[in-house]
């Protein structure tokens, strides 16, 4: 479970370059996901063994200075409110600007770690010029050059040291199913339909996801925590950007979940915002169930459901082995089917395949369809095992792992799905030297 670090500042100071550099430090990289508005990004990184999520709040200039000032105020306040630490980036080339001072005024009131980072410092003269940023009243600063990574090590050392410790996961902790999606998709209605009159409710308990409520729930002989990310407290002083805010909540909820129930409004379609949240869950290797809500409002013929499902699967390629349930929170149509499906996905995610079974099933297939030869060299896969991780990950031991390309790894993943049912769960395939 990671913390959230927000990168704030005015445009053109190098935030996106710095963001991209950080997420690429991660060996098992979780790619950046394009955000709900222009140039906003979400990704994962780690440093010295400490994992955290990054949010680049860039790209919100829409026109005049007045509009910009309103937007930067809104974005920075939201980042301050939700993040565990804030990186405030400025540009040594342009020096202190009025917009920098506006952001600094907000950040001086914050009781969270704030790191003032002066970018584009790639020589001694610029290091001297950076002294003027003391005038922002945020104390010491870090000088970096995001284009080549200079200075980022010291910054990251200080950052991970300042991040709050995450709660230990208890071994007997119940599975967590998070209900995520964009605003007004029907998340609250779905949860209310489930728990409103249901006698299986046990109790409400505080969740590890900030400000969320975990409802302990028992159905189909299976007990779990249902995480409501829709009912998080309103921020009275924040001029809410609902799209941005919903994604920040989703980031935190997804990181703490085992299975994500992605709810979207059928009348609005499976749009870019919904897809971003889907890929956040996939890149965090969580189980996923897609819930098409308000299906009762859609005009249908005998092909509508099939065509809509086909369209969704085209948008989520290549990870198409995902359950899609058409529901109506208002009429309670198939809402229990949604939970039953989530339970099945959780069981798939925690499934363990015996090593002997893996090898008996897959080695003959590999022998018939071996990896393509590369530069006249033949790859021989000798042995397969499932790794001891919370989600399905498999190691294929061979003589030349570097020559096995992505298409063949996808072939192996498809064979694992075909024979062992990992419906709804991302599967990772690694090639290892034998």
Residue ranges for the known binding site for GTP are 9-16, 56-60, 119-122, 181-188, 228-232, 293-296
> Quick one: how far is CA 5 from the chain centroid?
13
The binding site consists of: 9-16, 56-60, 119-122, 181-188, 228-232, 293-296
Q: Which of 91, 86, 64 lies closest to 10 in space, CA to CA?
A: 91
Contact, 54 vs 22, CB < 8 A?
yes
CA gap 297, 268 in Å, rounded = 11
Token pair 């999520």 is found at 53
Contact, 89 vs 18, CB < 8 A?
yes
CA gap 261, 253 in Å, rounded = 11
Is 134 in a helix, a strand, or coil? helix
Contact, 81 vs 74, CB < 8 A?
no
- Sequence-distant (≥ 6) Cβ neighbours of residue 260 within 8 angstroms: 177, 178, 180, 253, 254, 281, 286, 287, 288, 289
> Quick one: how far is CA 42 from the chain centroid?
7
Record the tokens describing residue 344, joined without a space: 């099945």
CA gap 15, 109 in Å, rounded = 22
CA gap 286, 263 in Å, rounded = 15
CA gap 276, 240 in Å, rounded = 20
CA gap 41, 244 in Å, rounded = 11
Record the tokens describing residue 219, joined without a space: 């159905």
Contact, 259 vs 288, CB < 8 A?
yes
Burial environment of residue 309 by CB neighbours within 10 A (0 to 12, 13 to 18, 19 or more): middle
**CA quadruple 378, 384, 386, 388: dihedral sign:** negative
Q: Where are the alpha helices (DSSP H) in 143-214?
A: 152-162, 187-195
């Amino acid at each position: 479970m990671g913390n959230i670090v927000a990168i704030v500042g005015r445009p053109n100071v190098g935030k996106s370059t710095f963001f991209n550099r950080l997420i690429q430090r991660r060996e098992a990289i979780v790619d950046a996901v394009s955000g709900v508005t222009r140039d906003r990004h979400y990704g994962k990184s780690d440093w010295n063994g400490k994992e955290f999520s990054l949010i680049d709040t860039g790209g919100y200039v829409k026109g005049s200075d007045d509009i910009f000032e309103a937007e930067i105020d809104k974005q920075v306040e939201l980042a301050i409110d939700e993040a565990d630490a804030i990186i405030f980036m400025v540009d040594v080339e342009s020096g202190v600007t009025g917009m920098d001072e506006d952001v600094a005024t907000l950040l001086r009131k914050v009781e969270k770690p704030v790191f003032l980072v002066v970018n584009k410092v790639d020589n001694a003269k610029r290091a001297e010029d950076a002294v003027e940023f003391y005038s922002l009243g945020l104390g010491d600063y870090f000088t970096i050059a995001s284009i080549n990574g200079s200075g980022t090590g010291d910054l990251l050392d200080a950052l991970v040291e300042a991040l709050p410790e995450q709660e230990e996961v208890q071994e007997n902790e119940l599975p967590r199913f998070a209900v995520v999606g964009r605003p007004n998709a029907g998340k609250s209605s779905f949860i209310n339909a489930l728990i409103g009159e249901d006698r299986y409710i046990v109790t409400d308990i505080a969740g590890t996801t900030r400000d969320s409520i975990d409802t302990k729930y028992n159905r189909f002989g299976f007990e779990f925590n249902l995480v409501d990310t829709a009912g998080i407290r309103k921020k009275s002083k924040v001029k809410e950007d609902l799209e941005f805010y919903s994604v920040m909540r989703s980031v935190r909820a997804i990181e703490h979940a085992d299975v994500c129930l992605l709810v979207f409004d059928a009348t609005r379609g499976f749009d870019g915002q919904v897809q971003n949240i889907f890929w956040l869950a996939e890149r965090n290797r969580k189980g996923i169930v897609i819930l098409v809500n308000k299906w009762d409002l859609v005009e249908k013929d005998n092909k509508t459901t099939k065509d809509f499902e086909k369209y969704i699967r085209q948008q989520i390629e290549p990870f198409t082995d995902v359950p899609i349930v058409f529901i109506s929170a208002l009429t309670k149509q198939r809402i229990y089917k949604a939970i039953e499906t989530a339970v099945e996905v959780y069981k798939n995610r925690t499934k363990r395949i015996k090593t002997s079974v893996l090898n008996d099933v897959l080695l003959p297939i590999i022998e018939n369809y071996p990896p393509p030869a590369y530069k006249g060299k033949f790859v021989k896969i000798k042995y397969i095992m499932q790794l001891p991780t919370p989600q399905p990950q498999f190691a294929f031991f061979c003589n030349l792992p570097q020559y096995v390309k992505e298409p063949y790894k996808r072939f192996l993943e498809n064979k694992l799905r075909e024979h062992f049912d990992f419906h709804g769960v991302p599967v990772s395939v690694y090639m290892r030297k034998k």
